[in-house]
Amino acid sequence: MDNYFNKVSGKDIEFFEKLLGSRNVSISEVELVANSVDAYPGGFYKPEIVVWPESSEQVGEVLRYAYERKIPVYPKGGGTGLTGTVPIYGGILLSLVKMNKIIEVYEEDMQVRVQPGIIYDRLNKELERYGLFFPPDPSSGSWCTIGGMVASNSSGLKAVKYGTTREYVLGLEVGLPDGRIIRIGSRTFKYSTGFDLLKMMIGSQGTLGVFTEITLRLKNLPEYFQTAIAFFPSVESAVRAVYHIVRRGLDMAAIEFMDEKMMRAVAEYRKIDFPESQAMLLVEAHGSKMAVLETMEKCIHLLEENKSIEVRVAKDVEEREKFWAARKGAYPATLRLGRYMIISDIVVPLSKLYDAVQNSYELGRKYGVHASVIGHFGDGNLHVHWSAGNDRDKVEDLHRANDELARWAIDVGGAVSGEHGIGTEKKKFVKQQFREAFDLMLKIKKLVDPKCILSPGIIFDLEEVIQ
Amino acid sequence: MTLPELSEIERKLGEYLEDVWKCIRCGFCNSVCPTSNTSRSYMSSLTSRGRLILLQAYFSNILSKSLKDEEIQELMEYCFGCRRCIEICPAGVRIPNLIWRVKQLNEKPRYLRKFILTHYGELLRLFSKFPRFSNLFLHSHIGKILLELTVGVSRRIDFPSFNHSLEGWINKRRRNNGFRGRLAYFIDVFTNYHEVELGKKIVEFVEKLGYIVVAPPQREAGTLLLEEGLIEEAYRVAKENVENLYDIVQSGAKILTSSPAAYLALKKDYPELLGDTKSRIVSENTIDIIQLLLNEYEDGRIDFEIPLYDRLVYHHSCFTKASGLTKDIRRILMLAGYNLLELDVCCGIGGIWGMNKSNYEISLEIGLDLFNELKRINLPVTSQSETCRIQIKNNALVDVRHPFSFIVDRVKINKE
């Protein structure tokens, strides 16, 4: 497969410089290297050239040219992805960070149309003045782009109430691999006009098209919120509480879980005192003051009914921040256990949450690695932090444990990724996850991108697409 | 890379080599890094994360260039040591400290600049002995050109005027009986030679509280040397200052600062650089004037007389944030009756980084939103950092002063 694609030549560089201007083209080694990784701890894959288009038309021209020349193209946003969406076949790194404008805010419609390179937090900062926000809230929000979020259907801590990016994308302008620019979706909440190509594009991680414009629906900023943390004598009682909260239909904005190992790491890192317990839940409700107070009262009752040792309700914004700091401290706290760590992103039916936690512990023991669990339990999403400390020899075991858990998740009706995507990291699970449907996915890929110039090696193996 | 070169580089990076591998490339540092949010930083190599990726690539044998290479060194220059990244990095990478060590590898001949930077304390002392002549020279066209040619400081910078040193004024001063103990003022160059009036007010005020103020033998804080990658020189300065201050601390005095760079140097940089007991003891006994005021207030020794509740813009300087003094300053300003509008935005100056000819334009670009906002608000501004005040004053054209200046007239000393 090494010779399948053409290499970027001097003539190609000239073409791009003429099209985009020389400041929007780089073949400098430092720039290529700086674009050779994302936040997944994998290897370095250098593109041959980096280009920065500034308009949809330029994106279309880059794609058209690359398609003709059979040069791979890897679209890139903030580069915060966790699954290795990197230029493994070299080629063109199509950075969209210069296309970072808000094109229009439709205040009355509660919608916004943006270019793909705008950063999540910056968009929400701008939307504040309209009393609106785009809710998915990924933890990489300070640097990830909206285009990247749509490409990986990312979400975050409040998906239990607000859902994932998918629920907010109303329309897309997409550059297809051959350079055609098409518009899909609409500016209405519903339509019944044939195949839902929009949903097909979301989460495709740059394998079907390059998003050049995105129309999002927005939510009103919540009027009021309340947060509480609860401690449990066992993982089982915490999971049971989650189950009852969801079953009762309480409108929670967050139901976050943290196990005892994680609590210990966080307590040490953040210098916080937690009561003696085996698990912690952080719950939060958003909405009108009356609704929030009523929801939280019911929620606290359920927490207590499920053997919670202690429930602490945030008295003010400062205390709420402390609660969230504890939850968000999980990642840095585990990073301090050592250099070698990977994080799983499995999602399981709620009835399997307890088994998922227990299974993680068993796998941790089996492979001799540290396993601690946090999760957005309201939507069944678990992040097991597998750590081998600084023992390089245990890295393979980290992957074995992670892989075994992922296979188990698929077997029980879950998925290998709740919010991070497939990339190169979880490619091996796609077939197992989708079985017969994988062939259909592959056929769609072949139909849209027969030469496989868009993100080859991501989600699908190149061989599978071009054979 | 050759093996001897690699081992030399690893040796110079020392314990910070481990930080290269701690980085998980999440990009959080980019979101707060002033130079990673400019019109040039669409290029990944010009961002904070980009620099860390390059270091990882170098040690993975992916990058063919040496870390000594001019291009790599130029990229490292984009880190001016604001330290905003330290607070946000989930992996605990000590990014500025690491980059300083990489800058240390710069082999570009810069003898004159290096000489001037390593002796700038002495040079400023000399200038302050003849303030009239120095000011005439520094504000003249020829003086500015000479400064640009020799040290690289942009001729467009308006240097603050020189005065006779505060140190000299303190040492000539008749002491009171000082029933509350001794304070050794670690002044740093700006207050010592330029903003002498602020220093005098601080001294007079703490004397009224019953302290004796002395100016011990001291050199510049040396933060500038770290930012330039002159680690050995910074080490020497730190050692000298700690030796001088340690003896005074042992005799029962506390070290007083008013500059965030001086405070940061004593509190964090010196203990990290020297790693010895003396620097830790000096660190533990260092107090900023704002903290001293808060302590006095907590102990009931001072109160505030509020003529009216004024609005004031509080600019969070990078060093104030890094030193953890932001909350204390906020609290004391509010106690003094100010209704604060807080702006946590870098002004772009980065010590003397933004004064360098090569960085001057980008420094203004970083600060542009802040300057426009301050012009629009048109209220007095307080910022603890000296160079931030220069930058804000020159570009937003507003009244900007140290927090102490806004507080001192409102303090009422309670009788014992």
Residues B92 and B122 in one domain: no
| More confidently predicted of B107 and B169 | B169
Using the 3D structure, point to which of A298, A331, A364 is the last residue of a domain. A331
Q: Please report whether residue B260 resides in a domain.
A: yes
Q: Please report whether residue B157 resides in a domain.
A: no
Residues B384 and B342 in one domain: yes
Residue in A39, A46, A336 closest to B92 by CB: A336
Structural domain span for residue B19: 3-103
The burial of B108, by beta-carbon neighbours within 10 Å (0-12 exposed, 13-18 middle, 19 or more buried), is given as exposed
**Measured distance CA(B135)–CA(B3) in Å, rounded:** 51
pLDDT reported for residue A39: 92
Using the 3D structure, point to which of A165, A185, A220 is the last residue of a domain. A220
Residues B144 and B174 in one domain: no
Residues B217 and B145 in one domain: no
With an 8 Å Cβ cutoff, are A142 and B54 in contact?
no
With an 8 Å Cβ cutoff, are B31 and A29 in contact?
no
pLDDT reported for residue A344: 92
Residues B372 and B273 in one domain: no
Q: Please report whether residue A71 resides in a domain.
A: yes
**Measured distance CA(A456)–CA(A91) in Å, rounded:** 10
Residues A133 and A213 in one domain: yes
Interface of B with A in 77-96 (CB under 8 A): 88, 90-92
Beta bridge partner(s), residue B342: B314
Residues A452 and A401 in one domain: no
pLDDT reported for residue B149: 87
Is B43 part of the contact surface with chain A (CB cutoff 8 Å)?
A: yes
Residue found under tokens 């109160």: B303
Low-confidence ranges of chain A (pLDDT < 70): 1
Q: Which residues of B touch A79 (CB under 8 A)?
A: 25, 27, 44, 49
Residues B199 and B237 in one domain: yes
Nearest CA in chain B to A46: B62
Q: Please report whether residue B233 resides in a domain.
A: yes
Residues B344 and B406 in one domain: yes
pLDDT reported for residue B416: 66
Q: Please report whether residue B214 resides in a domain.
A: yes
Residue among A20, A30, A25 at smallest CA distance from A93? A25
| pLDDT level of residue B138 (50, 70, 90 thresholds) | confident
**Measured distance CA(A267)–CA(B19) in Å, rounded:** 23
pLDDT at B409 over 90: yes
**Residue A194 belongs to domain with CATH number:** 3.30.465.10
Å from A44 to nearest chain B CA? 8
Residues A355 and A392 in one domain: yes
Q: Please report whether residue A3 resides in a domain.
A: no
**Helix extents (H) in B189-230:** 189, 196-208, 223-227
Q: Please report whether residue A196 resides in a domain.
A: yes
Residues A92 and A28 in one domain: yes
Question: Stretch B148-152: mean pLDDT, rounded?
Answer: 84
Residues A53 and A29 in one domain: yes
Beta bridge partner(s), residue A215: A113, A171
The DSSP-derived string for A203-271 is T-TTSS-EEEEEEEE-EEPPSEEEEEEEEESSHHHHHHHHHHHHHTT---SEEEEEEHHHHHHHHHHHT
| The token pair that represents A428 in the structure block | 């091996």
Q: Is the ipTM reported for this complex over the cut 0.90?
A: yes
Split into its structural domains, chain B has a count of 4
**Measured distance CA(A415)–CA(A438) in Å, rounded:** 14
Residue in B22, B44, B90 closest to A34 by CB: B44
Using the 3D structure, point to which of B272, B294, B316 is the last residue of a domain. B294
| The token pair that represents B63 in the structure block | 């990058």
Split into its structural domains, chain A has a count of 4
A–B interface: beta-carbon pairs under 8 A: 90
Residues A115 and A213 in one domain: yes
Q: Please report whether residue B317 resides in a domain.
A: yes
Q: Please report whether residue A4 resides in a domain.
A: no
Structural domain span for residue A270: 224-331
Question: Stretch B372-391: mean pLDDT, rounded?
Answer: 95
Residue found under tokens 């200052």: B241
With an 8 Å Cβ cutoff, are A143 and B26 in contact?
yes
Residues B194 and B279 in one domain: yes
Instruction: Give yes or no for a contact between A428 and A84, defined as CB atoms under 8 angstroms apart.
Output: no
**Residue A371 belongs to domain with CATH number:** 3.30.70.2740
Q: Please report whether residue B181 resides in a domain.
A: yes
CA atoms within 13 A on the CB side of B252: 7
Residue in B27, B32, B75 closest to A30 by CB: B75
Could you write out the three-class secondary structure of B340-398? EEEECCCCCCCCCHHHECCCHHHHHHHHHHHHHHHHHHCCCEEECCHHHHHHHHHHHCC
Residues B330 and B400 in one domain: yes
**Residue B332 belongs to domain with CATH number:** 3.40.50
**Residue A273 belongs to domain with CATH number:** 3.30.70.2190
Q: Please report whether residue A1 resides in a domain.
A: no
Q: Please report whether residue A205 resides in a domain.
A: yes
pLDDT reported for residue A133: 97
pLDDT at B2 over 80: no
Residue A93's H or E segment, with its range, is strand A92-95
pLDDT for B306-347, tens place per residue?
888 899 999 999 999 999 999 999 999 999 999 999 999 999
pLDDT for B78-109, tens place per residue?
999 999 999 899 889 999 999 999 999 988 77
The single-letter code of the amino acid at A431 is: K
Instruction: Give yes or no for a contact between A345 and A390, defined as CB atoms under 8 angstroms apart.
Output: no
Residues A181 and A216 in one domain: yes
Using the 3D structure, point to which of B271, B294, B317 is the last residue of a domain. B294
Residue among B401, B404, B395, B394 at smallest CA distance from B380? B401
Residues A51 and A108 in one domain: no
Is B24 part of the contact surface with chain A (CB cutoff 8 Å)?
A: yes
Residues B15 and B96 in one domain: yes
Is B123 part of the contact surface with chain A (CB cutoff 8 Å)?
A: no
Residue A375's H or E segment, with its range, is strand A370-376
Instruction: Give yes or no for a contact between A152 and A182, defined as CB atoms under 8 angstroms apart.
Output: no
| Residues A119, A125, A127, A133, Cα dihedral to 10° | 80
The residues near B412 (Cβ < 8 Å, ≥ 6 apart) are B302, B303, B304, B305
**Measured distance CA(B266)–CA(B279) in Å, rounded:** 8
| Parallel/antiparallel/unpaired status of strands A92-95 and A49-51 | parallel
Q: Is the full-model pTM beyond 0.90?
A: yes
CA atoms within 13 A on the CB side of B44: 39
With an 8 Å Cβ cutoff, are A39 and B57 in contact?
no
Residues A89 and A183 in one domain: no
pLDDT for A421-435, tens place per residue?
888 888 888 888 888
Determine which of B17, B26, B63, B64 to mutate to test the interface with A (most A C-beta atoms within 10 Å). B26
**Measured distance CA(A85)–CA(B312) in Å, rounded:** 47
**Measured distance CA(B288)–CA(B183) in Å, rounded:** 11
Residue in A30, A35, A339 closest to B22 by CB: A339
**Residue A456 belongs to domain with CATH number:** 3.30.43.10
Residues B282 and B314 in one domain: no
Question: Stretch B390-396: mean pLDDT, rounded?
Answer: 93
Q: Please report whether residue A460 resides in a domain.
A: yes
Q: Please report whether residue B253 resides in a domain.
A: yes
Residues B84 and B182 in one domain: no
Residue in A29, A38, A140 closest to B64 by CB: A29
Q: What is the mean pLDDT of chain B?
A: 93
pLDDT for B7-53, tens place per residue?
889 999 999 999 999 999 999 999 999 999 999 999 999 999 999 99
Nearest CA in chain B to A144: B27
